[in-house]
Structure 1
Amino acid sequence: MTSILITGGHSGIGLAAARALAAKGIDLILAGRSAARMRPVADELRAQHGTTANTLVLDTASLASVRAAATRFDMMLDSGAVSPLDAIICNAGGRFDGALSYSPDGYETTFATNCLGHFLLVELLFPNLTEKGRVVYTASGTHDPDSMDGRMVGTAVEPDAFALANGGKDGNKALSAGKRYSTSKLCTVMYAYELDRRLRGAGSSISSIAFDPGSVPDTGFLRDMPKPVRRVATSAAMKWASKLIGITTSEVGFSGGSLAALAADPDCAAASGKYFQANDGSLAAVRSARLSYDQPRAVKLWDDTKQLVGLTAEEEPPQLR
């Protein structure tokens, strides 16, 4: 039986992906901050598709929460409540507007939530992946400063883990919310590529894939925006205008189904090291930002992130060193 863990699988694109996976008879572990919000989704998936759906409380902004969730998963695995993972979908995340904030570990919230938590989660759960498992990262076209997506949100800056984690501290000027978001997604793509390189170097059959779901404003992405902004952003006129000027657009159902396909479909088994984009009803492998292919930068980002999350020698899988 196929088993997949997805972060943020109880809302938006993640929920659409979870429904698509459950419809295929795949067992799911929904990982997220709120047990109350995940529970009805798990109940729905079990009732409608007869699949097994477990929940796992996990806040990717908190390293302690990620470690506790990984320990809990190991206990569930030992008890037979779940099976080894065929895929880990790193989907949860967000853009955090308003006043600059920091995680429980003292790191800038956007980078902590979108990058550090998922990095640690993959390291800790990696030994539970099946021989031909997959890791799928939800990225964003905003990571590419040469694209309209990147120019509209805020041009990504240098993928420096220490600078991003400590943005706004010690008198340093904080990045805008848009730049914090787009840079976190640049890092996400680079994590996916660097993981692929390490897996290939270790002779592993596990895949690492990056995915851009496109601009889907009718999800929780704009939840921190004023209501008038949200109404305009989700209007048919704005969607038409966005497409006209070259923004990558999609719908919740299509993007969720595409994410599910990358995690489970046999046709995507050879997709490791690629960047896929959902755009106007089409899913295709495309080129990501030029900087995302910079291997020395990716190695530095990886190694610096290990230090930030406090990864120990015992926690780090040999294949990923």
Structure 2
Amino acid sequence: MKTVVVTGGTSGIGAVATQRIGSVPGTRVLLGARRGGLGSPETLSLDLTRLSSVKEFVGAIYDRIGDAEIDALVLNAGSQFPNIDHRTEDGFEMTFGVNHLAHYLLLRLLLPKLTYGATVVITTSDTHDPKINPLAPKQLDPEQLAHPPGRRRRTGFSAGFRAYSASKLCNLLTARGLADSNVAKLKSLTVIAYNPGFTAGTSLFRAWPLWAKVAVGVASVVRPMTRLATVEQAGTNLADLALGRIIPPVGHIYASLVNQQLLWPDPSELARRDDTVVGLWNDSARMVGLLTTV
């Protein structure tokens, strides 16, 4: 029996991936979601806006699987907010707290349970790259992302999208940090940062302003001409990466779905900087109260 742990598996590409993973004979899926429940997949309560909930979720996994180990960890959950004015229970800016920090803590706490040769897939986005997205970060300050300076007026969509892009950079940097770690080498982990590309039909766009939602709707209508991936295609690739059906080329961890083809390009220049990886890893460990090294 193989065990796969998934976040963000109740809708969109995550739901497709979860269904495909769960359909493989001899595979057990443990899904983290806001509401736990019975049935298949086994769903355990997880609220990524609370670090205490992440710890409770990890405890529930340890209890549920006993002496068994985890064969694949899929950190797919992500949200985009219309501004940067909201905070998590722990006081972090919501986008940074949910998309990055909660998943960083979850990864760190589950590392001891990953079996030798396990696969870790973290969903990122090509919006992290300034060559693709002009709002992408050109430098990274984790402390400012976690605690943005106060403003007299409410922030808007551009600030929210900047925060989303930065959080996706953090997801990619976390994957790089894990891949370079001692534990990844000792356990021969396969680590992948997966960009599903612009995929119309997911819940990610629910916080977008009306004009942007209209643009997404138009894009979904003309998808055959634009060669945008469908939710089914993006989710299938996610499942295949988690199941080891797609093997990364040597020296690459960034998988990007472009024009309905899975490629292995170089990420942004900032994402390739080792000092940025180390800085984020150490700052994140401090924020969640863990040791920096693994």
Normalised to the residue count of structure 2, the TM-score between the two structures is 0.89
After superposing the two structures, state which structure 1 stretch, 94-103 or 228-237, moved more.
Answer: 228-237
Q: Is the Cα–Cα contact under 8 Å of residues 138 and 270 in structure 2 kept in the other structure?
A: no
Q: Is the Cα–Cα contact under 8 Å of residues 85 and 133 in structure 1 kept in the other structure?
A: yes
| 2:57 maps to 1:59 | no
> For the residues of structure 2 that align with 1:106 and 1:303, how far apart are their CA atoms?
19
- RMSD over aligned CA atoms reads 2.6
| 2:139 maps to 1:138 | no
Q: Is the Cα–Cα contact under 8 Å of residues 93 and 114 in structure 1 kept in the other structure?
A: yes
Matched AA of 1:252: V
- CA apart distance, 1:297: 1.4
- CA apart distance, 1:138: 0.2
Q: Is the Cα–Cα contact under 8 Å of residues 194 and 255 in structure 2 kept in the other structure?
A: yes
> For the residues of structure 1 that align with 2:285 and 2:197, how far apart are their CA atoms?
29
Structure 2 CA distance for partners of 1:216 and 1:237, relative to 1, 3 Å? closer
Which residue of structure 2 lines up, in the alignment, with residue 167 of structure 1? 148
For residues 224-256 of structure 1, the C-alpha deviation after alignment (integer angstroms, 9 at most, x for no partner) is 23556424412357755994xxxx832100110
| 2:277 maps to 1:298 | yes
Name which of 189, 197, 203 aligns with 1:220: 203
Matched AA of 1:14: G
Structure 2 CA distance for partners of 1:204 and 1:101, relative to 1, 3 Å? same
Which residue of structure 1 lines up, in the alignment, with residue 96 of structure 2? 111
> For the residues of structure 2 that align with 1:60 and 1:157, how far apart are their CA atoms?
27
After superposing the two structures, state which structure 1 stretch, 22-31 or 198-207, moved more.
Answer: 198-207
Q: What is the identity percentage for the equivalent residue pairs of Structure 1 and Structure 2?
A: 29
Which residue of structure 1 lines up, in the alignment, with residue 32 of structure 2? 31
- CA apart distance, 1:271: 6.4
In structure 2, the gaps of 5 or more residues are none
Q: How many residues align?
A: 291
SS in 1 for 2:10: coil
Matched AA of 2:59: T
SS in 2 for 1:120: helix
Normalised to the residue count of structure 1, the TM-score between the two structures is 0.82
Which residue of structure 2 lines up, in the alignment, with residue 50 of structure 1? none
Name which of 95, 100, 105 aligns with 1:120: 105
SS in 2 for 1:259: helix
Matched AA of 2:171: T
- CA apart distance, 1:272: 7.3
After superposing the two structures, state which structure 1 stretch, 5-14 or 220-229, moved more.
Answer: 220-229
Q: Is the Cα–Cα contact under 8 Å of residues 4 and 30 in structure 2 kept in the other structure?
A: yes
> For the residues of structure 2 that align with 1:62 and 1:210, how far apart are their CA atoms?
24
Which residue of structure 2 lines up, in the alignment, with residue 209 of structure 1? 192
Which residue of structure 1 lines up, in the alignment, with residue 254 of structure 2? 275
SS in 2 for 1:211: strand
Which residue of structure 2 lines up, in the alignment, with residue 49 of structure 1? none
For residues 256-282 of structure 1, the C-alpha deviation after alignment (integer angstroms, 9 at most, x for no partner) is 011111111244276675100112321
- CA apart distance, 1:283: 1.1
| 2:61 maps to 1:73 | yes
